[in-house]
Amino acid sequence: MDPKLFKFDTLSLHGGQRPDAETGARAMPIYQTTSYVFQDSDHAAALFNLEQGGHIYSRISNPTVAALEERISALEGGTGAVATASGQSALFAAVMTLMGQGDHIVSSASLYGGSVNLFQHTLPRFGIETTFVNPRKPEEFRKAIRPETRLVFGEIIGNPGLEILDVPAISKIAHEAGLPLLIDATFNTPYLCSALDLGADLVSHSVTKWMGGHGVALGGVVVEGGRFDWNANGKFPTLTEPYAGYHGINFFEEFGPHAFSMRMRSEAMRDFGPAMSPQNAFYLLQGLETLPLRMERHISNTKILLEFLQSSEEVAWVTHPDLPDHPDHELASRMLPKGAGSIVVFGVKSGSSGGGREAGATFINSVQLASHLANVGDAKTLVIHPASTTHAQMDSATMKQAGLTEDMIRLSVGLEDVNDLIDDFKQALRKAAKATGATK
């Protein structure tokens, strides 16, 4: 007998939303309001004291944002979710919900640069240290765990090196140490794999990217898996001991598998205030409606472009986990059977009259259909040349240390007709090769 629970594609359209009871509106209304009228003083007190569910003030929760939260939670298979103004605020709020001064994080070194900055430079000012380890060596995670470690963190598809994190192996290491694993699943989305099913305990996203898909609204989210026993070892007092900031509430005792999200909303959203706007939540809901369809196209376009780039004589090298020569190809095939995402990195061949930096810059300056900008996961194809933009201050040796090369192009494959993309890349590659003397 099969349970008749809604499946992924249906949840993308309907999760967290019903036709509006008052107006019949089919689309999710934008509840553009800061606050909500209480029925009476008893009702107000009950809401403030978490005796009843409901909305008080849109910094803490909002009906449009809540629909997005429930939808993403359903897609990820989580017990609940809290949306924030951006992916970075989601990560910060997750960390601050779990730990404080003197605590420690073990993180994959292959992360979005903003996350590296947060861990390396900002959190230490608040007394939280991070040890970065090689994502391809799970045992390094084990070795880096200290008595004061409170979190293990990584991205499934590393940025920009596209290393694949062995989530089941690292989850096992984290759990043996009594620690939760938080995965930033921005690059894979729940369509390509479920981080919670692979063993993660918490999942964060920059919803701005593939989840929204349109590049018009910023957003972040943290999803709670609901399986981690916060009470097992006394390491998570924010969840297992009375919280003086909220009437002495013990979140794990009272809310069990919802403890983390209840605490994050009650404290991080209240005190730090990284609220998502209802307008942005609406845009992001529109994006989520087509997530499965878009991801199919992202993946099919990526496969065709990989073939094109590999066969192009102006391309020096191509990296993507779906390629058999990628070091993590076998792991990617297991964890991401539908495809390992739509980010591709490749190098533009240089010649006698110009180096890789010039080749990459010329390619970028020559594309006409692809957009040159600092984002990923848009419906439109995006390209960036790290050596002339985000990492322009680095010399070649420093870039090499960071796993970058001067000729590297990061490509975020969009949804255009793939033949138009190939035509655009062909002409841009020809110009780059000509400019550097790689071809006549």
Partner 1 sequence: MKLQVRGAETFATTGGRPFVPEQPTIVFVHGAGMNRIVWYLQTRYFAHHGHSVLAVDLPGHGRSQGTFLGSIEELADWIPDLLDSAGVGKAALVGHSMGALISLESAARHPDRVSKLALLGVAPKMPVHPDLLKAANADDPLAYDLMMDWGTGPMGHFGRHPVPGISLICGGQKLLGMENSGVLGNDLGLCNDYQSGMETATKVGCSTLIVIGSEDRMTPPKQGRNLAAAIPNVKTQLIQDCGHMIMLEKSDQTLQALKSHLSST
Q: Which residues of 396-412 are buried (b: 16+ CB within 10 A; e: fewer)?
A: eeebeebebbbbbbbbb
Considering the complex, state which of residue 226 and residue 377 has its C-beta at the smaller distance from partner 1. Answer: 226
- Closer residue to partner 1 (CB): 60 or 304: 60
User: Comparing C-alpha atoms, which of 384, 344, 2, 352 is closest to residue 161?
Assistant: 344
Q: Cβ closer to partner 1: 113 or 242?
A: 242
* Long-range contacts (CB closer than 8 Å, 24 or more residues apart) made by 51-59: 58/31, 58/33, 58/34, 58/275, 58/278, 59/269, 59/270, 59/273, 59/275
State how far the Cα of 135 lies from the Cα of 163, in Å rounded to an integer.
7
Give least dist CB 122 to partner 1, A: 26
What is each CA distance from 420 to 10, 178, 305, 377, 423, in whole angstroms?
A: 31, 51, 11, 19, 5
Is 28 or 429 the residue whose CB approaches partner 1 more closely? Answer: 28
What's the one-letter identity of residue 335? M
Query: In the bound complex, what is the minimum distance in angstroms from residue 27's beta carbon to partner 1?
Result: 14
- Indicate the residue among 76 and 155 with the shorter CB distance to partner 1: 76
- Report the nearest approach of partner 1 to the CB of residue 328 (Å): 29
Q: Interface with partner 1 by CB under 8 A: which residues?
A: 1, 3-6, 14-18, 46, 49-55, 61-63, 65-67, 69-71, 73-74, 77-83, 225-227, 231, 247-250, 253-258, 261-262, 265
CB < 8 Å & 24+ apart, contacts of 15-23: 15/70, 15/71, 15/72, 15/73, 15/74, 15/75, 16/66, 16/67, 16/68, 16/69, 16/70, 16/71, 16/73, 16/74, 17/67, 17/70, 17/71, 17/285
Q: Taking the complex as a whole, how short is the minimal distance between the CB of residue 18 and partner 1, in angstroms?
A: 5
Place of tokens 């898996």: 225
CB of 211 to partner 1, least distance (A): 16
Question: Considering beta carbons, is residue 48 or 126 the nearer one to partner 1?
Answer: 48
| Chain center to CA of 110 | 13
What separation in angstroms does the CA of 14 have from each of 68, 175, 209?
10, 34, 20
Q: How far is the CB of 87 from partner 1 (least distance, A)?
A: 17
In whole angstroms, how close is the CB of 184 to partner 1 at the nearest point? Answer: 19
Nearer to partner 1 (CB atom), residue 33 or residue 390: 33
Nearest distance from C-beta of residue 223 to partner 1, angstroms:
9
CB closer to partner 1 out of 250 and 375: 250
Our CA angle for 20, 21, 27, nearest 5°, is 10
